[in-house]
Structure 1
Amino acid sequence: MERRNSQLGKRVWVRHLTLRRGPFEFYYTVTYEAVDGTDGDEFWRRVSFRTNGHKLIKDCPPSQKIELIKKFGSRAARAAHEEAEKLMRVNQKSAA
């Protein structure tokens, strides 16, 4: 979803990511901002990365839930950051 930031006149793109890891689904929001390059090119720069929580999608023992959230949550966060960076690199290459 792309929107214009009326205060600064810049274009902002909000991307929602959902990743499944183990018995959980993790939710993230990545926000990018359009930046003008020196040659008149435009590319997207990541300006924020927010964790929106998780949801249990498979059964797991309640005694292990916190441990599993930490284990799979860190993996999901790492993968979400990599996905957000990958998109940025692709856009920067296409803008160059």
Structure 2
Amino acid sequence: MEPGARRRPPRLTPEQREEKAKRDHERLLHRMDEVEAASEDTWYAPPYPAYYDTATARDHHRALPVVATTLPLLRRFGADAPMWHRFGRNGWHRWS
């Protein structure tokens, strides 16, 4: 091998590729959670003031709705599937 040449890593078996893809996707989901936590000041909508006793809605004035997904989910399900995570909400949502 020539000096400075890169060695290629050994080829992965199909099982190893699948496991790697799973780990990579979990890492992407974790990163999405980190971005959500770090950007909360931008998208968080506080509840209306206490003088609205019966209001359960939130004041979205000056709040920015943010949705995120991963490329593997987008490739697998398409953009109209419930594979969007809206920051501040639980679960996966359809965004169409």
Bigger strand fraction: 1
User: TM-score, with normalisation over the residues of structure 2?
Assistant: 0.27
TM-score (norm 1): 0.27
Which structure exhibits the higher relative contact order, with contacts defined as CA atoms closer than 8 Å and separated by 6 or more residues?
A: 1
